[in-house]
Amino acid sequence: MEANKLPVLLSIRGEQYFDGIDPDATELMTEGTMTLTEDGMALSYQETALTGMEGTTTTFEVRGPRVILTRAGTVNSQMVFEEGRQHTSLYETPFGELTVDIQTSRLRHNLTDRGGVMEIRYSIAVEHTVTGRNCFKIRVKRKH
């Protein structure tokens, strides 16, 4: 199964919007892997000290109309993005579990085994209190 892990360069831009505050943007350039699966693909990379989640592996799994973001390691969480739908998940913290509601307003991608772009816009509510609107823009380039 490992044979279809392809090395990729990922450019991940994250934006967070809070009412009345300029968007907070982070841009991460990192190497990762793309794994082709029967029902889509998975993009994985290691978080760094820059993102504050060192020791964590992040995976975006693209399955048809939904994308599942999983973090494993020092931070463990799973978020499900599906345009026009809300998904609730648990977020593990050292202080206990929080419920996180993800409402995805936009999910677009043109990813193929050669790379592409994925954009996810969503709002997030922690313990049913909206904490902000977020946007992920991920560019994927095959490494040769």
Q: pLDDT tens digit string along 105-134?
A: 999 999 999 999 999 999 999 888 888 899
Tell me the pLDDT band of 1, cut-offs 50, 70 and 90: very low
Mean pLDDT across the stretch 30-54? 90
pLDDT tens per residue across span 47-92: 888 778 889 999 999 998 999 999 999 778 899 999 999 999 988 7
Long-range contacts of the stretch 24-33 (C-beta < 8 A, 24+):
26/50, 26/51, 31/7, 31/143, 32/7, 32/8, 33/5, 33/6, 33/7, 33/8
Mean pLDDT across the stretch 7-11? 97
% the chain with pLDDT above 90: 62
**For tokens 């996180």, what's the residue?**
100
Tell me the pLDDT band of 3, cut-offs 50, 70 and 90: low
